[in-house]
Amino acid sequence: MKNTSKILSKSIKYKLANAKKNNPVNKKINASKTDKNIGDNKLSPKNANTTGNNGVSVITCTHMYCYMNNIINNFLRQNYKKKELIIILNNNSLNLKEWKLKVKAYKNIKIFKIDEKITVGSCMNFAVKKSKYNFIANFDHDDYYGQNYLNDFMKVVKNVDAGLFGKKTQFVFFEKSNTLAIRNPNSENKYVDFIDGPTVFFKKSIFKKVKYIDSDMADLQLSYDCTKANIKIYSINKENFCYIRKASKDMHTWKIEDENFLSLPFFVLGKTKNFIKHVDINQQTSHYL
């Protein structure tokens, strides 16, 4: 009897290979030229961490205790060395001392607690104010960020004329059906008009013109405000990130059913119980909690 999981895995790899082959690169940004510039400017992953103020401040706002380990592990997993994590607890029932005790061994992780009446947008603005680096990366509490996620951005940001970056094309894993799909195919390595909140990455300097609005849906507005302020938006590659769609829609702010979600621009890859091996293409052993 054939191993069904192996067959599905090969099917997903085949579809991924074809999707990558057929992905049009934006004419304004020549991929090979960009890679060459990266080498010339010495911004490869190996030495990007030591070039000037190239640190990244990762910011996360959460109201759910159950995502504590996921938040911390997403950060610790990153190969990029010059980084910090700022966690904002936006739920009065969360115990600040307990969270701080959990990360006491890590000097580059800071945790603050803000009253739950304060919006997510205001919490994010507070986190940016507390950040010490020139680049800001928003990590959602319930998604997966692969080990080279920050490296992906730092390879690009110094060589592309934009202020806001993200992954408009992204992997999505549906827990209920074990389905792996690609959302917004063909939006890699090109200028776009919108970036979803979970992959928002920006130069802190854009905060002179735009900020998160005072709303719990502030991440959706940020792209529109950047466009109004003539700040260009650029979508990089899809790898090393996966949006996790929980089995219960009650775990999400957006209460859309999986079937309706999949009716949007999607390319379904197939069924798998291990999405990470398709998303995080350079896995290595790491220390997690």
Q: Which of 272, 66, 74 is nearest to 171 (CA)?
A: 272
Amino acid residing at 28: K
Question: Measuring CA to CA, how many Å separate 55 from each of 93, 120, 280?
Answer: 32, 24, 22
Where do the domains of the chain lie, and which CATH numbers do they carry? 53-167+188-237 (3.90.550.10)
Interior/surface letters 256-267, b for 16+ CB within 10 angstroms, e for the rest: eebeebbeeeee
Q: How many residues does the chain have?
A: 289
Q: What is the DSSP letter of 246?
A: -
Helix (H) or strand (E) holding 270: strand 266-271
Tell the burial category of 88 from Cβ atoms under 10 Å away from its Cβ (0-12, 13-18, 19+): buried
pLDDT tens digits, the chain, 289 residues: what are they? Answer: 445 455 555 566 656 666 655 554 433 333 333 333 333 333 334 444 444 479 999 999 999 999 999 999 999 999 999 999 999 999 999 999 999 999 999 999 999 999 999 999 999 999 999 999 999 999 999 999 999 999 999 999 989 999 999 999 999 999 888 989 998 999 999 999 999 899 999 999 999 999 999 998 898 899 999 999 999 999 999 999 999 988 555 554 544 555 555 656 678 888 998 999 999 976 444 434 4
How large is the greatest C-alpha to C-alpha distance in the chain, in angstroms? 62
* Entry pTM: 0.81
Place of tokens 């979803």: 196
Tell me the pairing of strands 135-138 and 144-145: unpaired
Range list of H helices, 22-164: 31-40, 68-76, 96-102, 120-130, 149-154
